[in-house]
Amino acid sequence: MRYYELDEEEKEILDAAERDELVQSKDKEAIEARMIEAAKNFSSKTKNINLRLPERTIYKLKAKALREGLPYQTLAASILHKNAD
């Protein structure tokens, strides 16, 4: 089970849901635009890192990426992402 820290707005929403006090908004276009913007902001945040790896590891990574039809940096990022959780 994963644990997430909720901010104040999220806590208020959760409390309202538990009290069955949530109401549907009439401004669906504004909500949709806000959700799209949030998704764009969340998914586009990346940071560059530098790693020093043995040449042999890089060659093996490139060979595996070639077999899978991926760029080796994409494969490396995928491996890191899968193992970071």
If pLDDT is split at 50, 70 and 90, which confidence band does 67 have? Answer: very high
65, 75 contact by CB (below 8 A): yes
Bigger pLDDT: 16 vs 1: 16
The residue ranking higher by pLDDT, 85 or 51, is 51
Q: Is the pLDDT reported for residue 4 higher than 80?
A: no
Spell out the SS3 assignment of the chain. Answer: CCCCCCCHHHHHHHHHHHCCCCCCCCCHHHHHHHHHHHHHHHHCCCCCCCCCCCHHHHHHHHHHHHHHCCCHHHHHHHHHHHHHC
CB-CB contact of 72 with 83 (8 Å): no
Mean of the per-residue pLDDT values for the chain?
86
- The residue type found at 26 is K
Confidence of residue 23 (pLDDT cuts 50, 70, 90): confident
According to the model, what pLDDT value does residue 26 have? 80
Check residue 85 and give its pLDDT: 66
> What's the pLDDT tens digit per position in 38-52?
887 776 667 888 999
3-state secondary structure of 7: coil
